[in-house]
Amino acid sequence: MASGELASPAISDALVILGAAGLVIPVFTRFRITPVIGFILIGILVGPYGLGQLVFERPWLEHITISDPEALEPFAEFGIILLLFAIGLELSFKRLWQLRKLVFGLGAAELLIGGVILAIVLSMLGQYWTGALALGFALAFSSTAIVLPISGSSSPVGRAALSMLLFEDIMIVPIVFILGAMAPNAAAGGWEGLVTTMWQGAAVIAVMMIAGRFALPRLFAQAARTKSPELFLAAAMLVVIGASLATAAVGLSPIVGALIAGLLIAETEYHSEVEAIMEPFKGLALGVFLITVGMTIDLATIWDNLGLIATAVLSVVVFKAVLTGVLLRLMGARRSTAAETGILMASPSETTLIVLAAASSALLIQPGTAQFWQIVTAIGLTITPLLARLGRIVARKVEPAPELPPEDEGERKVIILGIGRVGRLVAQMLTSHDKPYIALDSDADLIEYAKREGYRATFGDAARGDALQRLGVEDALAVVLTMDEPVLAGRLVTKLRAEYPDLLIVARARDIAHAAELYRAGASHAVPEALEATLQLSEAVLVDIGVAMGPVIASIHDKRDQFRSQIEKEGALTYRPKLRSSTADG
């Protein structure tokens, strides 16, 4: 390879991006600032409106600037695809079905009402009605790429945000088609194209779901047998890219295919490994997207129109925050949840840029108008992490954290995370042995039920903020994780072990593989529920069909030893994990 090829613009751009990631992530993490802002600032600095405009005067700057911003767009889109894929891995079809009322109730109301009201206001300010409608719906979108990594998907705020963002992602294609049909030179083909895309998309999604349920477990089982991380990564990339291309081929957004691929893999036992392998790629690709956002911000233009741009940003943010908060309150959300979610969802979205481009190409808005709102959107994306912090502050003001039940001074207790069926049973056992406990759950309905039944429980999200510190986790006897959410459990165990090295952490595991994963994360004990249920079922059957108790107990001992060895090996442990049951100490 010639030396000139090594100095190609693509290599130079890759060096800038990797250097930015190596600089931004450690520095901003050290100061506990989200890297989102750092990546956007890097984009401003190395983009065409930053150091890029000085390249002709200082040629050496070419090596630390992005020479072709448009060349990064495919990588930026891939970042969004990987993000939706990761979201799918954390969900399941069952949980998605449980969210259907929020998705098609809250999500539809937030997008449709917000879009219409914004369109009316813009038309009153002089924008022609078709352009006003396009701008209204463009600004009504919120950022999937930035909001979900901040909010997660398990807390009340995360569930509300996820529901609205899912509906927005579903509506991208219909809105873009409708804008095309509204173009001055459009014919009926725009509406026909929408109908064609919808039925073809439904057919492709149905095929993906049917084929995925049968093919994916076999695909990943074959990859797992090779014990090759490279093959496992290749299989995961094959699935996400193939699903994205399939939906894109019929006119749907590729992120729809990525989300469905994640949901399908989430139903398999390999979802945790896939998520772990894909995590670095997701973070880097998302960083590329944020850099491209920064490159669209022209500080000189902002300065020349500072008053008008600031007014536009403030107006959009305040309107969306109030609308979302009111809708959540009408649907029964707590004041703190409504306030925090409303402020978090207040800025425009990366999808806003897509809709603005579609409206401009359809001649519904002037290029200057599109550029103005692109700047407003870029600023909105930049301040989203600041809005998230403001939302948490406002949430604490409008609804202070609930008072915990009175406790004896200096009393050490067990903290139970999750007060569902398993959590309540653990609480009963602790009570029967006079051991104090407090349960924490982010499901308000479960908390209300638990309190009615006499359990000591309080509302809070263990994955966020100071919830565990309020409960005195630093002095806790133990923390017991009872939730049936493998990804969340792994994250909590990792976080707890990093902050409290000597804490006793006991976690519920789905199976042997999940138990090994929790041990690797730092759990003191991980109890695979499927394993113990299987052993006790086997014991009951063997004894009742006439096998002597001695050989049965011996065989269960042997089987438990096999599982111990498997967990020890997969969890990279230096000790033999404990597995106990009613039959023996094991």
Distance between CA 478 and CA 498 in Å, rounded? 15
397 residue type, one letter: K
**Helical H segments across 350-485, by residue range:** 350-361, 367-398, 421-432, 444-452, 467-470
- Partners of 505 in the beta sheet? 479
Residues whose CB is less than 8 angstroms from the CB of residue 67 and which lie 6 or more positions away in sequence, other chains included: 9, 12, 13, 52
The kind and range of the H/E element at 528 are strand 525-528
φ, ψ for residue 181, nearest 5 deg: -70, -25
Distance between CA 108 and CA 371 in Å, rounded? 28
Place of tokens 């597995």: 579
Distance between CA 75 and CA 264 in Å, rounded? 24
Q: Dihedral of CA 37/38/41/42: which sign?
A: negative
Residues whose CB is less than 8 angstroms from the CB of residue 367 and which lie 6 or more positions away in sequence, other chains included: 360
Is the CATH code 3.30.413.10 the one for domain 414-528? no
The kind and range of the H/E element at 415 are strand 414-417
The kind and range of the H/E element at 479 are strand 478-481
Distance between CA 538 and CA 536 in Å, rounded? 5
pTM of this prediction? 0.60
* pLDDT tens, residue order, the chain (586 aa): 444 444 566 677 777 777 776 777 677 766 666 677 777 788 888 888 888 777 777 777 777 777 667 777 777 777 778 877 877 776 667 767 777 788 888 888 999 999 999 999 999 998 888 889 989 999 999 887 788 777 766 677 888 888 888 888 778 767 776 776 676 654 445 556 667 777 887 888 889 888 888 888 888 878 777 767 788 788 888 998 999 898 888 877 787 788 888 888 887 767 767 777 777 777 777 777 778 778 878 888 888 888 999 999 999 999 999 999 999 999 888 888 889 999 999 988 877 877 887 788 777 888 888 888 988 988 888 888 889 889 888 988 887 655 444 444 456 889 999 888 889 989 998 888 888 999 988 776 787 788 878 888 887 778 765 678 778 888 889 999 998 888 888 888 988 888 888 899 999 888 777 888 888 888 888 888 767 677 777 777 877 788 888 787 788 777 777 776 776 666 566 555 655 543 444 3
Distance between CA 104 and CA 499 in Å, rounded? 40
Distance between CA 115 and CA 134 in Å, rounded? 8
CB 122 within 8 A of CB 373: no
Distance between CA 502 and CA 496 in Å, rounded? 10
Distance between CA 131 and CA 183 in Å, rounded? 10
Query: What is the number of other CB atoms lying within 10 angstroms of the CB of residue 541?
Result: 11
Sorted by where each begins, the domain ranges of the chain are 78-277+319-398, 414-528
Domains 78-277+319-398 and 414-528 share a fold: no
Residues whose CB is less than 8 angstroms from the CB of residue 522 and which lie 6 or more positions away in sequence, other chains included: 493, 494, 496, 497, 498, 505
Q: How far is CA 511 from CA 223, 272, 407, 486, 531, in A?
A: 19, 12, 36, 10, 7
78-277+319-398, CATH topology level: Na+/H+ antiporter like fold (1.20.1530)
